[in-house]
A and B are shown apart, each in its own frame.
Chain A
Amino acid sequence: MSGEASPVDYTNVKTAGIIGAGVAGLAAAKTLQAAGVACTVFERNDAIGGVWTDGYLEYGVQVPKELYEFPDFPLPEDTPQFTPGPMLQQYLEDYADHFGIRDCIRLGVTVTNVEQAPDGQGWLVSTSLPGGEAQQHFDMVVVGVGLYSNIPHMPEIPGQAEFSGQVHHISGLKSPDVLAGRKVAVVGFGKSATDAALLARKHGKASNIIVRTLHWPVPRNLAGLIPFKWGLLNRLTVTVIPPYKTMTALERQVHFIGKPLVWLFWRVVELLLIVQCQLWTRFGARQSLIPDEPVEIGAFSEATMVPRPEFYKSVRSGEINLHRGRIERFVPDGVELDNGSRIEADTVVLATGWRSDYGFLSDELQDRLGLEDDGFYLYRQMVHPDAPGLVFIGYASTVANILAYNMQSRWLAELITGRHHLPGRDAQMAEIANLREWKRRWIPFSHARAARLIVHLQHYLDELMGDIGANPLRKTGIFAPLAEVFAPYEPRDYRDIAADDWVKREFAGE
């Protein structure tokens, strides 16, 4: 496969196998089904919802509810501002019922292998279920398993056999009994780690959190007043973050002539965060809570987090003891860090995240997709020219994932209806190389760096809108020009695009 080969004709797609019935899989099934594609969704759990089917104690969404809902199916009005996990899982069930996609979902079925059909036409999906194994042919396969599975990432720490206490992954933290009356050490500094430390403070005898790298927090309300979406998700902020792989003329000038202003802007942001969260708080050997990375780079690292407001208060008051370092080994009564200090603990909670699970893609296929340490680099985060008909929906980490996955699904549906076409192989490969080079130049390493877009979601959505011929400027009303610059972009701004009759809505009045 070389040269400017003709790309696969997606307009011939009549059937699709979708792997995963989480947010991405559901959005894909709803949108593709409406576009006339017969879908079969394979879900290994016994319930709809993917990572939301089951979580740790008091788990929930870390962004406000208006950022984490389907554009065309708003959350119920009585939903709390930060949607609790079980409520979100029910919402996903309701979504499946509302759009009539439940019938195409096969629960309790694990996909074991995905391979291209021998004649190169379509894909074969092998599944295992209690009754045995099966194989099914589809014109297209949509991988909708997202970035992380339910499989815990458990770092190997020496000396665990000597440890007299208990070791849990955060996903095993289902009941307060696990922590009751115990001296707890939590490992990690993402959202789940800060949640676990707060739970240990509430239920345990002592709460410690062991942090290798400090991260900038995103407070729920900036300066305690303004919801963070106003500061992060508008086009003004998106213009001053480290530039996207393609820049508009204005953005080029902002990052050239305006460089001192951009620099000052981010230092002021850091100052505000330091003051609001009192990050100058000292702990350990004269260290503060101020991260090493500049905030505009740190925001794109692996653990972007919106901690519960009481977390930093508890650290300041000493109810949660923060230790900077890496666990060197377990000792009988706790853990020892690489700086030589020892933390007494009888329960260690590993809030170290979850592994991605693409084991159903053969090594040969993973090679074809160019899998490296930092993930898959795909054209538009979705397709690779060397695996035509294999599409990833949900392989993007953003500030509003449901919105991103809905718009990816719309883009795919319009590829099938023939509204837009993929460029040739060389053009796609050049774009993939450009994406890889851009991300590796400045985004901190993580195993999911290829998927990270975070606040660049806005630029990504603009690209998708451009491809399908929709207007990327979604704000309406008399103050639209003002809102376009200063107001946050939310799923509801894309409601018309998510609707099945979006073309009619978009061009009404023309």
Chain B
Amino acid sequence: MFYTLGTLLGLVTGIVHAVHIIATQSSLPGPNASGQAFYRAAWAIVLWTLFGGYLFSMWVIGLLFRAVFADRGNSADLAKP
């Protein structure tokens, strides 16, 4: 169930990411920028859909583990004075 849910979530995320890519990368310098942006957007949808289930499963596992073992937190929090 995690995997199916994750794949659907991945597909939705992929579409959102694809729209973001087209919006931001169509105006990059260089030849055929909008064609490149659409090509990258298509890849984004494929990759997010393929890995969505895996990422979602890991997200849930991370949430659980972090709640139990988060004495070594992540990213910037730790180095704050």
Known interface pairs A264-B61, A264-B65; 13 further A-B residue pairs with C-beta atoms within 8 A, sorted by A's residue number? A242-B75, A243-B75, A250-B20, A259-B66, A260-B59, A263-B66, A264-B66, A441-B76, A442-B78, A471-B33, A481-B44, A482-B43, A510-B31
A484 contact set on B, CB distance < 8 A: 40
Interface size class of A (residues with CB under 8 A): 35 or more
> Is there contact, CB below 8 Å, between B43 and A471?
no
CB-based A-B contact count at 8 angstroms: 93
Which residues of chain B have C-beta atoms less than 8 A from A265's C-beta?
A: 62
The CA of A485 and the CA of B14, in the complex, are separated in Å by 14
> Pick the contact of B63 from A242, A260, A442, A508 — CB < 8 Å?
A260
Chain B contact residues, CB within 8 Å of chain A: 17, 20, 25, 28-33, 36, 39-40, 42-44, 47, 55, 58-63, 65-66, 69-70, 72-76, 78-80
- Asked if B29 and A508 sit within 8 Å, CB to CB, the answer is no
Collect the chain A residues with CB atoms within 8 Å of residue B31's CB. Answer: 507-510
Q: Which residues of A contact B (CB under 8 A)?
A: 241-243, 249-250, 255, 258-267, 293-294, 296-297, 441-444, 469-473, 480-482, 484-485, 506-510
- Which listed residue (A259, A261, A294) contacts B72, Cβ 8 A? A294
Query: When the two chains form their complex, are residues B78 and A267 in contact, meaning their CB atoms are under 8 A apart?
Result: no
In the complex, which of the residues A241, A267, A297, A482 contacts B65, with contact meaning CB atoms closer than 8 Å? Answer: A267
Q: Contacts A441-B79, A471-B29, A507-B29 known; A263 to B20 CB distance under 8 Å? A: no
A473-B25 contact given A262-B75, A263-B73, A506-B30, CB 8 Å threshold:
yes
Q: Which residues of A contact B61 (CB under 8 A)?
A: 264
Assembly CA distance A288 to B43 (angstroms)? 44
A297 B30 Cβ-Cβ under 8 A: no
Q: Please, which residues of chain A bring their CB within 8 A of the CB of B79?
A: 297, 441-444
- Across the two chains, which residue of chain A brings its CB closest to B32? A509
Chain A: CB-nearest residue to B67? A260
**Given A249-B20, A481-B43, A484-B40, residue A507 in contact with residue B62 (CB < 8 A):** no
Q: Do A485 and B47 contact each other (CB < 8 Å), given the known contacts A260-B62, A260-B63?
A: yes
Q: Give complex CA distance A266, B30 in Å.
A: 36
Which of A267, A470, A482, A506 is the most central at the interface, judged by chain B CB atoms within 10 Å of its CB?
A267
Interface of A (DSSP majority class): helix
* Chain A nearest CB, measured from B20 CB (Å): 6
CA separation between A243 and B29, bound complex, in Å? Answer: 25
* Chain B residues whose C-beta falls within 8 Å of the C-beta of A482 in the assembled complex: 43, 47
Min CB–CB distance A410 → chain B (angstroms): 14
A240 CB → nearest B CB, Å: 8
Residues in B neighbouring A470, C-beta threshold 8 A:
29
Chain B residues near A508 (CB-CB < 8 A) = 31
* Distance of A262 Cα from B17 Cα, bound (Å): 18
Chain A neighbourhood of B73, CB < 8 A: 263, 294
Q: Which residues from B are CB-within-8-Å of A293?
A: 78
What A residues does B28 contact at CB under 8 A?
471-473
Assess whether B74 is in contact with A294, with CB atoms less than 8 Å apart. Answer: yes
A-B contacts, 22 of them at CB < 8 A, read: A241-B75, A242-B75, A250-B20, A255-B75, A259-B66, A260-B63, A260-B66, A262-B62, A262-B75, A263-B65, A263-B70, A296-B75, A297-B79, A442-B76, A471-B28, A471-B30, A480-B39, A481-B39, A481-B43, A481-B44, A484-B40, A507-B29
- Contact between B78 and A261 (Cβ–Cβ < 8 Å)? no
Question: Cα distance A60–B60 when bound, in Å?
Answer: 44
Closest to B74 in A: A263
Interfacial chain B residues near A506, Cβ < 8 Å: 29-30
Provide the bound-state CA to CA distance between A297 and B25, in Å.
Answer: 31
User: Given that A263-B62, A263-B66, A508-B31 are known contacts, is A294 also in contact with B20, CB under 8 Å in the complex?
Assistant: no
Q: How far is the CB of A303 from chain B (nearest CB, A)?
A: 16
Whether A242 contacts B25 by the Cβ 8 Å rule is no
Contacts of A264 in B (CB 8 A): 58, 61-62, 65-66
